[in-house]
Structures are given as structure tokens and as C-alpha cells.
Amino acid sequence: MQKKIILKARAFLEEAIRDRFVSAGFPSCVKLAELGCSSGTNALLAISEIIDTIHEMSQRINCESPEFQVFLNDLPETDFNNIFKSLPAFYEGLMKEKGGKLGNCFVTGMPGSFYGRIFPTRSLDFVHSSASVHWLSQVPAGLKNNKGHIYMANTCRPDVLKAYTKQFQRDFTMFLGLRSEEIKPGGRMVITITGRSIEDPSSKDCCDLWELLAKSLLDMLADGLVEEADVDSFNLPMYNPFEGEVKALIEEEGSFNLDKLETFEASWDPYDDSDKTRSGQNVANCIRSATEPMLATHFGDAIIPDLFARYANRVAEHLSMEKGHHFLVVFSLTKK
């Protein structure tokens, strides 16, 4: 799924890069950050896109290709070793593709939460983040009475929906403020998040996927495999905003101009398998990779395989009745 989203954001990246460097020229070293890079190979995919585009642009105007210093960011618990071991092959691939013309490229790891300062003041030229900024800094403060759910849903109490909305407003505003200190004036940021298609926060296109996970947990509760108190107290630190919310918060925070915003859909199943059983399994694998650490911390490791087997079945059943789509919001910002 990550790969599809990055490819979809390509036009945004190209436009933002062109706008940034055609007007201001290339610095001798372009400083890039990938926020929420995770530990897979996708971490380097967007970076590779950005380097490609800048390199080609420099060749077209007969300039020397600049150096690149790349900061891969994620939480300190992330498996950076895995990414780092793949770097020699990544550099070799770049060299092979571009020959000796590409400027030096240095990929570093920056462990830390993007809800705190992670880069020196006015040090970055370009920031990218793919499917990360919809994760909140914490489960919403004051979230109670969300019995039977693990996220927003259309049968949630209004105060639950309000608590989620407030937490996102606070976190996203903080995120913009922190990045505005770190990005050079005129620097760009391209961000993709999963959002929702309508204003109603219990919109099915952001909530269905998690209701199916909640139901799988309730199935396990009915079978005596998890504790009721554990299910009641588990909630996802995530929010899928409507595009209007994103626009309003950017304007209100005031540090960035919103250059462009678009929305698009992506199937739950990145392989779009026609076999619903396999499709359910594919979706379960994706969701497992994103949520396993927090579920394991809360419920223990032991329940994970059973939970995601049940979840795969529930997703397959759902997909046999209707399609499932993530609703994505991609936007490009310029630091004032």
C-alpha cells in the first residue's frame, strides 16, 4: 500500500521540487527528511524519487548535481538496522543508474517522534511523509466510554468523536509548528495521510476497517481469550481527517502556504486480489504490520496470530459484500 501511495504522490513531489529549486537555485547540499519512514524498503523509495528528480533537473540546466543529506526518521523503537543494512545496495543502485554524475548522497537515521523537535533550526530543504501523520501523539486525552470500539465509529458517543477531533487538532497544529522551525523559508513539505471523504467523523471509509478489528477482538472476548477490561481500554492513537479540517488547520497555524491538495482512493488490498479470502489475508497483513506493536504491548504477543486470522476472515466477508477503500489526502506546503 505504501508503495502505491508514494507513486500517487509523485506528481506532488515533482512539482514541489521544481517550484522550490527553480526559483531559489540548488544549495550545495540538499537536506531531505522522510518522516515516519518505518523499517521497510519503502523508506528509500520516496527518497530515491526526490533524488532522481533533483538530479535530472540539475542535468537539464547544466548544473552540477548537488550533494544530498537524507534523514530517515521514525520512533526510537523502529528497526533502523534493517534499513541501514540495505544502504550499500541502495548507494550501488544509485551509482549504477546515474554513473559518476550524481552528487554524494548520505543517508542517516534520525530516531525520535515528529511531535518533538528532531532537526536543527532552519536546516531542511524538503520534507516528505507518507501515511504517518494521521498517527496521533497519544490516544486522545479524556477518551472514555468507547466500549465495543477501538476507534471512531458511527455508534460511538459524541464525546468520543470530539476527543479524537481535538487530539488531531492539537497534534497536527503542533506538527506544523515544529516543522516550521526546522524547514528553511521557502522549503517544501509533501505529506500523504489517510483521511475520510465526508465531514462526518464516523464516515465508513475511515472507520469500517477498524470496526472489523474491534469485532475480531469482541469475538475473542466472547471466546474468553482476552479480558473485557483490556478490550474496553484499547483505542487507536489515530485520526483520519476530512480535507476541510486539514486546510483549516494549516491556515490557522499560519507558518505554511498550502500549494495544492488532492484526494484519492486506494484499495484496502494493495494486490486487488479477486479471491476474497486471499484479499482478506492481504489486508490483515497490512494492518498487522501497522498495529502489531501496540496490540502486543496492550494484549500480549500471544493473541496476535489468532486475532489476525479472525480479522482476515471478517475482512474477506466484508469484501464479498462491498469494496473497501482507504481515502487518502495528499498536500504540498511551502514554508513562509
Question: By C-alpha distance, which of 193, 201, 161 is closest to 176?
Answer: 193
Comparing CB distances to a copy of itself, the nearer of 118 and 176 is 118
Q: Does residue number 117 form part of the binding site for a copy of itself (CB under 8 A)?
A: yes
Comparing CB distances to a copy of itself, the nearer of 61 and 106 is 106
Q: Does residue number 77 form part of the binding site for a copy of itself (CB under 8 A)?
A: yes
Binding mask 57-76 for a copy of itself (x = CB under 8 A): ----------x-x-x----x
Candidate list 121, 145, 155, 257; residue touching a copy of itself; CB under 8 A: 121
Please state, as a whole number, how many other Cβ atoms lie within 10 Å of the Cβ of residue 221: 16
Q: Scanning the structure block, which residue is given the C-alpha cell 482478506?
A: 280
Q: What is the 3-state secondary structure (H, E, C) of 183-243?
A: EEEEEEEEEEEEEECCCCCCCHHHHHHHHHHHHHHHHHHHCCCCCHHHHHHCCCCECCCEH
Strand spans (E) along the chain? 29-35, 67-74, 105-111, 124-130, 183-195, 256-267, 325-335
User: Residue 135 gets which letter from DSSP?
Assistant: B
Q: Does residue number 254 form part of the binding site for a copy of itself (CB under 8 A)?
A: no
Q: Does residue number 151 form part of the binding site for a copy of itself (CB under 8 A)?
A: no
Restricting to residues 84-113, name those near a copy of itself by CB under 8 A.
84-85, 87-88, 104, 106-112
Q: Scanning the structure block, which residue is given the C-alpha cell 534520525?
A: 110
User: Smallest gap, in angstroms, from Cβ of residue 183 to a copy of itself?
Assistant: 14
Q: How far from 239 is each of 135, 166, 213, CA to CA, in Å?
A: 7, 10, 16
User: Smallest gap, in angstroms, from Cβ of residue 116 to a copy of itself?
Assistant: 9
Candidate list 11, 18, 95, 120; residue touching a copy of itself; CB under 8 A: 120
Comparing CB distances to a copy of itself, the nearer of 7 and 95 is 95
Q: How far apart are CA 221 and CA 230, in angstroms?
A: 10
User: Smallest gap, in angstroms, from Cβ of residue 182 to a copy of itself?
Assistant: 10
User: Is residue 182 within 8 Å of 120, Cβ to Cβ?
Assistant: yes
Q: Does residue number 138 form part of the binding site for a copy of itself (CB under 8 A)?
A: no
Q: Does residue number 322 form part of the binding site for a copy of itself (CB under 8 A)?
A: no
Question: By C-alpha distance, which of 150, 152, 160, 157 is closest to 226?
Answer: 150
Comparing CB distances to a copy of itself, the nearer of 176 and 217 is 176
Question: By C-alpha distance, which of 38, 9, 40, 80 is closest to 264?
Answer: 9
Binding mask 18-37 for a copy of itself (x = CB under 8 A): ----------xx--------
Question: By C-alpha distance, which of 171, 146, 325 is closest to 241?
Answer: 171
Beta-sheet pairing, 124-130 with 256-267? unpaired
Q: Does residue number 119 form part of the binding site for a copy of itself (CB under 8 A)?
A: yes
> Taking contact as CB under 8 A, which single stretch among the options 3-11, 81-89, 238-246, 318-326 is the one that binds a copy of itself?
81-89
Query: Which chain residues interact with a copy of itself by CB under 8 A?
Result: 28-29, 67, 69, 71, 76-81, 84-85, 87-88, 104, 106-112, 117-121, 123
